[in-house]
Structure 1
Amino acid sequence: MFSTSASVLLWYILLIHVSEKADHFALSQVVALGPDVICNRILGLYPRQRNICRERPESIVTIWEGIEKGMRECRYQFQKHRWNCTYVPAQEPQFFPDMPKATRESAYIRAITSAGVTHAITQACSRGNLTNCSCDRSKNTAITEDGWQWGGCSADIEYGLKFSELFVDASHARDNAKGLMNLHNNEVGRKVVAENMERECKCHGVSGSCTTQTCWTTLPQFRNVGDILKRKYEFSYQVEQVGRRSKSRKIILKATLTNKKPKHSHLVYIEQSPTYCDYNLESGSLGTVGRRCNQTSSENDYCELMCCGRGYNTHQYDRTWQCNCKFVWCCDVKCNMCSENTEEYTCK
């Protein structure tokens, strides 16, 4: 069933991905368009992805939410870096964000968005927002030696993994090095979600005692997923493609002399990263001109590092806010106005 709410959200996605002419359509027309028309107009989808969009339009809404979840986490993790998860977009329209070069930053984007889709799909299943899945009730309900039993609504991570792989991996070819790299990093992102599932329990017993517990699996906090992938980014491995025939193509670790494939837990990249100091269309770098920096920081946002030695501008302004608030009976809150002179630094 194609709901009105799903139709409106699909229309929102459509407006982002089609040409400027799209805004000439009235929102009231969207329900009449139907999923076939909308899915055909979303740019950047591959044929198999369009088929999924037509058959299960609600899932595309959830996939889009998963991509946004991944990119928000990416921006959080890299907010103090020269590369802060922004880039010059490719000329060709893309449904999934992707860097022009096969760098370690590209590896992180692929992994975190793949993880975001897996997380969002699994969460939507548990909430009953998708018609093809719900809770995972396949677990054994027998009481374990520890005195608890499976029950409740466990997150169906297996469905989330399979659906994410089906949709996300459809946008990558296996006949080139970057495609193989992206497929590998997509899987790393999914595995981090699956390997960090948590268990929640509820006690049962007389007068609040906990003689037995009913337990179910829940998704990890997505911040935890982002943290783990950030550590993998910092220790990612450079690879290269070997094999000319389609069936024999694979990526191997570049630093080794043996034909050794990277582990499934490693993020991998092919090309060295640029400095991200300057705007560069080819590498996708937006540069750091105009970026805020911290003059007293010991991290990557320190002005000398962030501004790549170009110097920085100092802006002074007065900041005001409500302070010393007190509750006055009855029923009011009275506050003083506080102010201070503040400095802000931006890269030249």
Structure 2
Amino acid sequence: MTREYVLRCVLMLCFALLSANASNWLYLAKLSSVGSIRDEETCERLRGLIQRQVQICKRSVEVMDAVRRGAQLAIDECQYQFRNRRWNCSTLESMPVFGKVVTQGTREAAFVYAISAASVAFAVTRACSSGELEKCGCDHNVHGVSPEGFQWSGCSDNIAYGVAFSQSFVDVRERGKGQSSSRALMNLHNNEAGRKAILSHMRVECKCHGVSGSCEVKTCWKAMPPFRKVGNIIKEKFDGATEVEQRKVGSAKVLMPRNTQFKPHTDEDLVYLEPSPDFCDYDPRTPGMLGTVGRQCNRTSKAIDGCELMCCGRGFQTQEVEVVDRCSCKFHWCCYVKCKQCRRTVEVHTCR
């Protein structure tokens, strides 16, 4: 067996492992649109999909642009929720888009999987309600008069369809050969926890009907919470995530808290397998590990966004920059707003 043959096999194995990463489908967010897909060949050309996801694409071509929007929604929400942390969900042009961070069984990976599964369920459900998809529409199972006395009407969000599609598309790799591995169990659990962040917070929206604005008749429908609220919920679960390990209970393999003094996690909690790195330093061997050099920090904060913690004890530098804001805005009839430009000098602190 030649050295070149071994090297080629290693490279092929690394490529296979990378290609099989379950979060690679997030690369769809890099596309401007996949709404032009009208044939099966285009599904084959989409980067980041494993073969079983390609098959789902072929069966549900019209849903794929909602999946793309879901991928972008997941990335945007991750970057918002982690904007003041050492790891801030920076994306790469390669796969996986968050780098090696999501290939490890850390809290950060748990968040990414949860927010991704939730984003697909959310985006597909929204596409159903807007009439974009022929396969689904409003939830017609919600009808009649409620126990509270109002009439179910309007377009209730078809969250059942969105969740079912998320389960089939996002979970597909984990339900393959490795579904009994610790990492597969972790991913499946966090995917479901992300979807439950929507399911458990569905809300009732109503509209009153009657003379002069009275509420003689009230019609209501079920609606998803804003995705920002979903992100906030999953971020709270990230902060309280449980470190777990795989154990055998009877004939089943399950995840249990590594520390037996901790109470078991629920279906809505996030779980992780290994501690996170400190994310302080750039590591060229670990894509996505960008470090905190050059990151802005808050000099007066004692939290993770403060210069002491964000800069990992390396110190920070301060410079004055001029900021231009809109100010003294006035509404003019009819119909525009005119503002002045105000300049001010602020201090910006960046990590050394």
Once the two structures are TM-superposed, the CA of residue 263 in structure 1 deviates from its matched residue by: 2.0
Say if 1:303 and 1:311, in contact at 8 Å, map to a contact too. Answer: yes
Residue 215 (structure 2) aligns with: 210
Counterpart amino acid of residue 264 in structure 1: D
Once the two structures are TM-superposed, the CA of residue 345 in structure 1 deviates from its matched residue by: 1.5
User: Please, which of 119, 122, 143 is the counterpart of residue 116 of structure 1?
Assistant: 119
In the aligned structure 1, how far is the partner of 2:28 from the partner of 2:118? 23
Say if 1:67 and 1:96, in contact at 8 Å, map to a contact too. Answer: no
Count how many residue pairs are aligned between Structure 1 and Structure 2.
319
2:349 maps to 1:345: yes
In the aligned structure 2, how far is the partner of 1:39 from the partner of 1:323? 49
Residue 58 (structure 1) aligns with: 62
In the aligned structure 2, how far is the partner of 1:339 from the partner of 1:293? 22
TM-score, normalization by structure 1:
0.81
Secondary structure, in 3 states, of the residue corresponding to 1:279?
coil
Once the two structures are TM-superposed, the CA of residue 233 in structure 1 deviates from its matched residue by: 0.8
Please give the per-residue CA displacement for 1:221-257, whole angstroms capped at 9, x wherever unaligned: 1111111111111111011123499x73332221118
Secondary structure, in 3 states, of the residue corresponding to 1:220?
coil
In the aligned structure 1, how far is the partner of 2:134 from the partner of 2:125? 12
RMSD: 3.1
Determine what percentage of the aligned residue pairs are the same residue. 43
In the aligned structure 1, how far is the partner of 2:160 from the partner of 2:331? 51
In the aligned structure 1, how far is the partner of 2:286 from the partner of 2:139? 45
Say if 1:147 and 1:211, in contact at 8 Å, map to a contact too. Answer: no
Once the two structures are TM-superposed, the CA of residue 62 in structure 1 deviates from its matched residue by: 0.6
Residue 146 (structure 1) aligns with: 148
Which moves more between the two structures, 75-84 or 316-325? Answer: 316-325
Say if 1:45 and 1:171, in contact at 8 Å, map to a contact too. Answer: no
In the aligned structure 2, how far is the partner of 1:15 from the partner of 1:108? 18
Once the two structures are TM-superposed, the CA of residue 316 in structure 1 deviates from its matched residue by: 2.1
Residue 315 (structure 2) aligns with: 311
In the aligned structure 1, how far is the partner of 2:308 from the partner of 2:203? 42
User: Please, which of 170, 191, 194 is the counterpart of residue 189 of structure 1?
Assistant: 194
Residue 102 (structure 1) aligns with: 105
Secondary structure, in 3 states, of the residue corresponding to 1:184?
helix
2:304 maps to 1:300: yes
Once the two structures are TM-superposed, the CA of residue 337 in structure 1 deviates from its matched residue by: 4.6
Say if 2:28 and 2:48, in contact at 8 Å, map to a contact too. Answer: no
In the aligned structure 1, how far is the partner of 2:332 from the partner of 2:82? 43
Gaps of 5+ in 2: 1-26
Distance 1:293 1:175, change over 3 A: same
Which moves more between the two structures, 215-224 or 36-45? Answer: 36-45
Once the two structures are TM-superposed, the CA of residue 85 in structure 1 deviates from its matched residue by: 1.8
Secondary structure, in 3 states, of the residue corresponding to 2:102?
coil
In the aligned structure 2, how far is the partner of 1:43 from the partner of 1:331? 46
Residue 241 (structure 1) aligns with: 246
- In the TM superposition, structure 1's runs of 4+ consecutive aligned residues that sit over 4 Å from their partners are 13-17, 87-90, 94-98, 325-337
User: Please, which of 252, 266, 270 is the counterpart of residue 269 of structure 2?
Assistant: 266
Please give the per-residue CA displacement for 1:127-154, whole angstroms capped at 9, x wherever unaligned: 011121000111241x344320111111
Which moves more between the two structures, 211-220 or 275-284? Answer: 275-284
In the aligned structure 2, how far is the partner of 1:107 from the partner of 1:168? 14
Residue 275 (structure 1) aligns with: 278
In the aligned structure 2, how far is the partner of 1:191 from the partner of 1:211? 35
Once the two structures are TM-superposed, the CA of residue 269 in structure 1 deviates from its matched residue by: 0.1
Distance 1:291 1:257, change over 3 A: closer
Residue 140 (structure 2) aligns with: 137
2:171 maps to 1:169: yes
Gaps of 5+ in 1: 1-12, 18-26
Once the two structures are TM-superposed, the CA of residue 204 in structure 1 deviates from its matched residue by: 2.3
Once the two structures are TM-superposed, the CA of residue 261 in structure 1 deviates from its matched residue by: 6.0
